[in-house]
Structure 1
């Protein structure tokens, strides 16, 4: 395995904190949802998220099958980007393999969830578009990874950018919740909009990063 170039380390100084923040937000959101599903009765839920929590509680098994692997994925993700881990090829490949398994579970379990979209057609369209991009990128990355082609990292990072959109949607939703008294919008009205904004922002940011830092794609797998 090649050493990570010094230029790559310099280029990534701003990206790593952003990655860690997004992973933290995604992990916190997943943990909150798990607690709400497993430890809090649906009848006792109160507050602005109560109705939303009840919707997910109606499909507890599917929701947990989706968010638990997503939680493990974002916990492992910083290790995958770690230069120290990448310097150990066996360890890096094991973590990459785990991410592939977890990622496919997340992507595939998102498909039946479109049957119960909180935000209606708007959320449904966002899930179909971005889950399609996610799964296509993951399949492409897996094919290249099995051939030991370093370019698999490009497609892996593209899929990761889509997945981290779930973290970006959280502050967007927070804005909608905070302004609900002024806008009179309910979750079913803005949930889909938040999905489109959150996933689009991280996906486009990921594409921009890949274009600006192609040197990272040439390091050995």
Structure 2
């Protein structure tokens, strides 16, 4: 049996990865548009309440989501075999990702002072942002030392960051069933955060264990 075939990532793994990047980018763009172009006070319903919450902290929210948007746009290039073959280009992209990632992780801390989902959301942010920053710092130290294992820790941090994309369909289910459950965003946001981040983080760990010597997606 060919060992390389055993460790080669499957097509669905790449598909899920790209889908999460698209969802994360779309969510960030939607929030940016809502902050800059939409008058939240003119909207009605649960989405309007969310828009007003983020609009109250517009500068901090933009400082968090704009770098996150650029981060997820660059991710497919970081994983690209063609880009990796161009060592200097790949290294530059990695450096940019480190700068953006630290901004995203650090700005998440003050944003957690105003969680929509209360204590439940706050606990999820503390746990997973802690994992993200630790993994990112570990990856950065290994990267500076030019040790290839930095990719493992980088991917662990990326799995956490993409958890924000997984929370979106979970939240969508809660919003779609709100008329039946009578739950408001402040009641289900925290639960959605825990579900989304946990699922994506565990999926990342599964991938790293399954492909210990082949931490690439294409």
TM-score > 0.5 by shorter chain? yes
| Residue 149 of structure 1, aligned match among 147, 150, 155 | 147
Structure 1 residue 42: deviation in Å? 2.1
Tell me how far apart the structure 1 counterparts of residues 43 and 146 of structure 2 sit (CA, whole Å).
49
Structure 2: runs of 5+ lacking an equivalent: none
**Post-superposition shift, 1:201?**
0.4
Residues 130-157 of structure 1: per-residue CA shift (max 9 Å, x gap): 0000000000000000111110000000
CA–CA separation in structure 1 for the residues paired with 2:80 and 2:5: 15
For the aligned residues, what is the CA RMSD? 1.5
2:53 is aligned with 1:49: no
**How do 1:88-107 and structure 2 match up within 5 A?**
88-107=86-105
Equivalent position of 1:115 in the other structure = 113
Q: Does the CA contact (< 8 Å) of 1:165 and 1:199 recur in 2?
A: yes
Give the match's secondary structure for 2:114. Answer: coil
Q: Is 2:23 the partner of 1:25?
A: yes
Q: Contact between 1:144 and 1:152, CA under 8 Å: does it hold in 2?
A: yes
Question: CA shift at 1:47, angstroms?
Answer: 4.1
TM-score, structure 2 normalization: 0.95
Contact 1:120/1:192, CA 8 A, preserved across alignment: yes
What's the CA shift string for 1:52-101, capped at 9, x where partnerless?
A: 11100100000000000000000000000000000010000000000000
Structure 1 residues 212, 9: closer, same or farther in 2, change over 3 A? closer
Counterpart for residue 183 of structure 1: 181
Q: 1:8 to 1:31 in 2, by over 3 A?
A: farther
Cα separation, partners in 2 of 1:92 and 1:7, compared to 1, 3 Å: farther
* C-alpha deviation, 1:43, in angstroms: 1.4
What SS class does the counterpart of residue 116 from structure 2 fall into? coil
Q: Aligned pair count?
A: 214
> Partners in 1 of 2:159 and 2:27 — Cα distance?
17
d(CA) in 2 for partners of 1:9 and 1:34?
39
Please tell me whether the aligned partners of residues 165 and 201 of structure 1 are also in contact (alpha carbons under 8 angstroms).
yes
Change (3 A) 1:211 1:6: closer
Match for 1:68 among 60, 66, 69? 66
Q: Structure 1 regions of 5+ residues with no counterpart?
A: none
Give the structure 2 partner of residue 136 of structure 1: 134
Indicate the SS of the match to 2:214. helix
